[in-house]
């Protein structure tokens, strides 16, 4: 292990010429026939994890030429055919040009654009009647029985910029916190020539970059948009006019920053592709891309597989001995914080605050890893002082700053609960990776052998009484088929009760084990005719 650390250190010094501050950050790309996986590591710890199946259609971020099928004034929404089985959902407020006020610090618009008449919800039925064509972008993929969620606020992300083809706003991401840097970037935007009626936003990755990088990025995005415009003119309705890049390309676009020390790729074709993409951004950075061809799988070598497995468990242990429990439901995600084996020489209140602070950091990481979205309720260990609650709340907000999904966090309530929302683009990693257990049907539990014994005896008694009421003189003979584990319980612990049941209701019982039976499944038949009895 020590030898590996030395190798990594020397490699970093060769690339940078000096030891950079901060953790050693690397991107691991596992490219296979059916699935691509990307892990972002910091000092060996998994911080970001993404899976993309090569057989599944990439939809979130893609742009479609669609047709409005119908308007629903009560829902204030339109349903749009974009070529999927279910029509996409377009809310009226996703048609009105977006302001981005909360996420972006805006520049003043030119006077000619300020004078343009604004669209309101009352204008939607006139501007977008059923049958009209509309250009939309998918912001949320199909989840469960719901179709895709779309918007007319088209945005094409680049390396440092986001191009807004139909919205003339210009601004800088508020995630760039340095006020002097934001002012510098605003000046660059003011000097940049942007086509009329188009807008540009500087992404967080643009912090510290020179003006020429933004100009190059803008040229690439405008070239992409010209191709999209040509497809809009000539393409059928409905059709896809812009396909969101695959996971490998998105990784290079979104994660490759100065802080990344190395990119490891375990597939030669993907390796060459990544090198070419990185080379277009920065020739110097091509040296960071390495081909991994050792016999041990890449994710096993760097301990990613084990970290993924641990991250997706319901119970996640913390270094201090505490743990968190994550439960996903239809309505919300509940996260419970427990002190567990947390030991501290300090007083109880200090111990509780330390456990909650550590849990807050891990929860932020788990939200990213699991791609959890929607309403999230966190039950921290009870803290008596408001100042302690503020510390935990601050730690949560700091941890969420690195999250690419939009989040909103409310103060800790009087009940000790922290409520928050996280933007949901697609199904969570757990939903996409796992399916409901065929035994418990997603409950996570099955009935015990004792419970099944009680239910079977109750059903046998019901059947025997029904046969007796029909006035049959011969002794009823029943054959009961059950799961082997349940049969073991009936034979070893409940045999005396079954014999008593036979005597009381004048019946004869025989049992058979069927390994194909679910633990909660059983069948009662007539032993003579073989007919199943309800």
Q: pLDDT for 431-448, tens place per residue? A: 777 777 777 777 778 889
Question: What is the model's pLDDT at position 17?
Answer: 41
Half-sphere exposure of residue 412: CA atoms within 13 angstroms, side-chain side: 25
Contact (Cβ atoms closer than 8 angstroms) between residue 201 and residue 171? yes
pLDDT digits 0-9 by tens, 229-246: 999 999 898 999 999 888
Residues 6+ apart with CB under 8 A from 347: none
Which of 311-315, 437-441, 506-510 is modeled with the greatest confidence? 506-510
How many residues would you count in the chain? 534
Question: What is the model's pLDDT at position 113?
Answer: 52
Q: Check whether 388 has a pLDDT greater than 90.
A: yes
146/134: higher pLDDT: 134
> Taking the mean position of all CA atoms in its chain, how far away is CA 490?
45
SS3 state at 447: coil
Q: Check whether 350 has a pLDDT greater than 90.
A: no
| Extents of the domains making up the chain | 23-55+249-305, 63-244, 312-433, 449-526
CB atoms within 10 A of CB 168: 20
Residues 6+ apart with CB under 8 A from 462: none
Label residue 448 exposed, middle or buried (CB < 10 Å: 0-12, 13-18, 19+).
middle
> Taking the mean position of all CA atoms in its chain, how far away is CA 328?
12
Q: Check whether 452 has a pLDDT greater than 90.
A: yes
Find the largest Cα–Cα distance for the chain: 101
Measure the CA–CA gap between 192 and 198, rounded to whole angstroms.
Answer: 12
Tell me how far CA of residue 511 lies from CA of 32, 463, 492, 503, 523, in angstroms: 49, 15, 13, 17, 10
Residues 6+ apart with CB under 8 A from 173: 103, 104, 105, 201, 202, 203, 204, 206
Contact (Cβ atoms closer than 8 angstroms) between residue 242 and residue 228? yes
Nearest Cα neighbor of 41 from 26, 56, 21 is: 26
Question: What confidence tier does 2 reach under pLDDT thresholds 50, 70, 90?
Answer: very low
Measure the CA–CA gap between 525 and 481, rounded to whole angstroms.
Answer: 8
Measure the CA–CA gap between 202 and 162, rounded to whole angstroms.
Answer: 6
Residue holding tokens 């201090």? 320
75/512: higher pLDDT: 512
Nearest Cα neighbor of 155 from 135, 176, 134 is: 135
pLDDT digits 0-9 by tens, 70-120: 998 888 899 999 988 889 999 988 887 655 445 566 676 555 455 556 677
Contact (Cβ atoms closer than 8 angstroms) between residue 263 and residue 29? yes
Question: What is the model's pLDDT at position 4?
Answer: 43
Contact (Cβ atoms closer than 8 angstroms) between residue 255 and residue 247? no
Residues 6+ apart with CB under 8 A from 373: 405, 422, 423, 424, 425, 428
Q: Check whether 19 has a pLDDT greater than 90.
A: no
Residues of the chain with pLDDT > 70: what percent? 90
Q: Hey, which bits of 43-132 come out as E strands?
A: 45-53, 63-72, 77-81, 88-91, 104-106
Half-sphere exposure of residue 241: CA atoms within 13 angstroms, side-chain side: 26
Residues of the chain with pLDDT > 90: what percent? 40
Looking at the whole model, is its pTM more than 0.75? Answer: no
Q: What is the DSSP letter of 109?
A: P
Helix locations, 371-494, DSSP H: 386-400, 429-433, 449-469, 484-492
Question: What confidence tier does 529 reach under pLDDT thresholds 50, 70, 90?
Answer: confident
Q: What is the DSSP letter of 146?
A: B
Measure the CA–CA gap between 67 and 63, rounded to whole angstroms.
Answer: 13
Tell me how far CA of residue 437 lies from CA of 144, 377, 402, 427, 448, in angstroms: 17, 25, 34, 18, 16
Mean pLDDT of the chain: 85
Q: Check whether 487 has a pLDDT greater than 60.
A: yes
Which of 1-10, 108-117, 274-283, 362-371 is modeled with the greatest confidence? 362-371
Measure the CA–CA gap between 295 and 384, rounded to whole angstroms.
Answer: 54
115/526: higher pLDDT: 526
Structure tokens at 355: 């456990």
Half-sphere exposure of residue 187: CA atoms within 13 angstroms, side-chain side: 7
Structure tokens at 367: 């939200």
Place domain 449-526 in its CATH homologous superfamily: Ribonuclease E, catalytic domain (3.40.1260.20)
Both ends of the chain: CA-CA distance in Å?
64
Measure the CA–CA gap between 164 and 431, rounded to whole angstroms.
Answer: 32
Place domain 23-55+249-305 in its CATH homologous superfamily: eRF1 domain 2 (3.30.420.60)
Question: What is the phi-psi region of residue 343: left when phi exceeds 0, alpha when psi lies from -120 to 50, beta otherwise?
Answer: beta
């Amino acid at each position: 292990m020590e030898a590996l650390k030395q190798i990594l250190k020397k490699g970093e010094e060769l690339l940078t010429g000096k030891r950079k501050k901060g953790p050693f950050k690397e991107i691991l790309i596992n490219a296979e026939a059916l699935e691509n996986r990307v892990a972002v590591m910091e000092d060996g710890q998994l911080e970001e994890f993404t899976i993309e199946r090569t057989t599944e259609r990439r939809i979130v971020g893609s742009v479609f030429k669609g047709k409005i099928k119908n308007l629903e004034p009560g829902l204030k929404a339109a349903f749009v055919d974009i070529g999927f089985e279910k029509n996409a959902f377009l809310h009226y407020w996703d048609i009105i040009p977006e302001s981005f006020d909360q996420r972006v610090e805006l520049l003043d618009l030119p006077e000619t654009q300020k004078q343009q008449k604004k669209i309101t919800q009352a204008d939607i039925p006139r501007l977008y009647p059923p049958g009209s064509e509309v250009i939309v972008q998918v912001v949320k993929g199909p989840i469960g029985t719901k179709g895709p969620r779309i918007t007319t606020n088209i945005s094409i992300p680049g390396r440092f910029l986001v191009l807004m083809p139909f919205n003339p706003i210009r601004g800088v991401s508020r995630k760039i916190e340095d006020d002097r840097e934001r002012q510098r970037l605003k000046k660059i935007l003011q000097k940049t020539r942007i086509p009329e009626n188009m807008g540009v936003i500087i992404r967080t990755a643009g912090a510290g970059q020179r003006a020429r990088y933004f100009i190059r990025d803008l040229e690439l995005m405008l070239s992409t948009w010209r191709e999209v415009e040509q497809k809009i003119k000539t393409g059928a309705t409905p059709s896809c006019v812009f396909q969101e890049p695959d996971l490998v390309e998105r990784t290079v676009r979104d994660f490759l920053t100065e802080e990344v020390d190395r990119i490891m790729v375990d597939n030669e074709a993907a390796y060459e592709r990544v090198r070419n993409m990185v080379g277009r951004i920065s020739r110097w950075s091509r040296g960071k891309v390495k081909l991994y061809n050792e016999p041990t799988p890449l994710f096993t070598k760097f301990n990613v597989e084990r970290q993924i497995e641990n991250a997706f468990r319901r119970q996640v242990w913390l270094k201090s001995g505490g743990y968190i429990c994550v439960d996903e439901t239809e309505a919300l995600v509940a996260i419970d914080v427990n002190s567990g084996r947390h030991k501290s020489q300090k007083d109880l209140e200090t111990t509780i605050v330390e456990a909650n602070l550590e849990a807050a950091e891990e929860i932020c990481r788990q939200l990213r890893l699991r791609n959890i979205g929607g309403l999230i309720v966190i039950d921290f260990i009870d803290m008596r002082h408001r100042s302690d609650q503020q510390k935990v709340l601050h730690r949560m907000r700091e941890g969420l700053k690195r999250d690419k999904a939009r989040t909103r966090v409310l103060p800790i309530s009087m009940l000790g609960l922290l409520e928050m929302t996280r933007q949901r683009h697609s199904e969570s990693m757990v939903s996409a990776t796992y399916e409901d257990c065929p035994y418990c049907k997603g409950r996570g539990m099955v009935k015990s052998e004792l419970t099944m014994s009680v239910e079977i005896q109750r059903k046998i008694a019901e059947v025997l009484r029904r046969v007796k009421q029909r006035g049959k003189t011969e002794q009823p003979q029943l054959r009961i088929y059950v799961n082997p584990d349940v049969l073991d319980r009936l034979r070893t612990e409940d045999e005396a009760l079954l014999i008593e049941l036979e005597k009381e209701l004048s019946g004869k019982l025989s049992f058979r084990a069927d390994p194909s039976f679910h633990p909660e499944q059983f069948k009662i038949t007539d032993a003579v005719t073989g007919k199943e009895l309800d």
